[in-house]
């Protein structure tokens, strides 16, 4: 895509370390509404098909932190709970969701998760942490961007997509 920088176009010493607001506003929102991101640096990976120690090799960039866009599948077809199980374990939410603002506008949510090896309730806590970012009111953003109901229906599946930051502690 013309005008969009890739990792190989970045200058030496470049560090990708966006704020929560920047991740939501410039990357996740653009990805969800099919607009180009400022830099093509965050790959789309179904992270639940991999264990966390396999994710660094899937990343475009990063030494201690890795960023991905990923679909968010539901645990049950008609339910709202996300399925966060992987091959060897599961991601468990910790704490409360953090609201993300751009100025005074509520734009997204950040959730912290920890990876547990094994199956609940006997999983063993690991040092892998994920910060999951979700947009708020995506249907309005898609509708405003595309302008038609048909486009909205075609794009609606992207509401279940999220962006995330993964890192290993220790």
pLDDT tens per residue across span 18-29: 999 999 999 999
- CA-nearest of 115, 109, 17 to 67 is 17
Which residue range forms the structural domain that includes residue 32? 5-168
Residue with tokens 């993300």: 100
Phi-psi label, residue 62: left if phi above 0, alpha if psi -120 to 50, beta otherwise? left
Q: How many domains does the chain have?
A: 1
Beta strand residue intervals within 3-148, DSSP E: 5-6, 39-40, 65-71, 89-102, 105-117, 124-135
pTM of structure: 0.79
User: pLDDT of 54-95, one tens digit each?
Assistant: 999 998 778 889 999 998 888 888 888 888 999 999 999 999
| CATH number assigned to the domain comprising residue 117 | 2.170.150.80
């Amino acid at each position: 895509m013309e005008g969009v920088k890739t990792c190989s176009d970045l200058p030496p010493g470049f560090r990708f370390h966006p704020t929560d607001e920047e991740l939501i506003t410039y990357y996740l929102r653009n990805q969800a509404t099919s607009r180009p991101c400022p830099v093509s640096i965050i790959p789309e990976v179904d992270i639940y098909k991999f264990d966390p120690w396999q994710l660094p090799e899937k990343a475009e960039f990063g030494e201690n932190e890795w960023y991905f866009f990923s679909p968010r599948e539901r645990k049950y077809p008609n339910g709202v709970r996300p399925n966060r199980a992987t091959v060897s374990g599961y991601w468990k939410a910790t704490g409360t969701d953090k609201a993300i603002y751009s100025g005074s506008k509520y734009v997204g949510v950040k959730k912290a998760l920890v990876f547990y090896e094994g199956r609940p309730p006997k999983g063993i806590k690991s040092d892998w942490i994920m910060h999951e970012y979700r947009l708020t009111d995506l249907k309005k953003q898609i509708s405003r961007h595309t302008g038609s109901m048909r486009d909205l229906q075609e794009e609606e599946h992207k509401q279940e997509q999220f962006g995330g930051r993964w890192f290993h502690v220790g």
